[in-house]
Amino acid sequence: MDNVYSSRKYLIQRIRKETREYFPAADRDPVINVTYLVEAFKLLDGKFKGKGGDIHCGNYALGNLYKREIIKDYEIGFGEIVNIAVGEEWPFGNHILYKEIHDYQPDRKIYDRVKFVESKEWSLTVAFNRSGWYSIRSPELGFNAPDKMP
């Protein structure tokens, strides 16, 4: 979100990440792991300062799996985090430009304390298997690679 203007001096982003691991046996349901992330970005004149582009990289080897699927639900916008980031001013030290409030963990208490007043949501699903098939999908952003590229 570039050139974001508001009286608030920061953005909040929260991510729900679901990882589904499929083992070779056809009759097995995937092992599902869900984790949550919450972070804040300081804005100056409506622009990110410091961290630069919001980058969430991952390295997911298959190991003994047949298939892996990673589903991320993103929400970013203006709001507050109850008892942590309240009001319009940047709630952390002036020299801090980015604050990871809650790293990916199964505990969702802080994730649920985010109260947006304005936000955007989208999802990203990445799937791949041992035979080389892959898919990268985001209905909100309008792509389904490799079939429909952005």
**Per-residue model confidence (pLDDT) at position 63:** 85
d(C-alpha 78, C-alpha 23), whole Å:
40
**Per-residue model confidence (pLDDT) at position 4:** 54
pLDDT digits (tens, 9 = 90+) for 33-54: 999 999 999 988 766 665 555 5
Helix (H) or strand (E) holding 109: helix 109-112
**Per-residue model confidence (pLDDT) at position 51:** 55
Question: What is the number of other CB atoms lying within 10 angstroms of the CB of residue 149?
Answer: 9
Residue predicted with more confidence, 110 or 58: 110
Domain boundaries, the chain: 10-124
Interval 124-146 mean pLDDT: 92
Single-letter amino acid, residue 145 = A
pLDDT digits (tens, 9 = 90+) for 111-132: 999 999 999 999 999 999 999 9
Q: Look at residue 149 and tell me whether its pLDDT is greater than 80.
A: no
d(C-alpha 108, C-alpha 100), whole Å:
14
Q: How far does CA 64 lie from the centroid of its chain?
A: 26
pLDDT digits (tens, 9 = 90+) for 49-97: 655 555 666 777 788 899 999 999 999 999 999 999 999 999 999 888 8
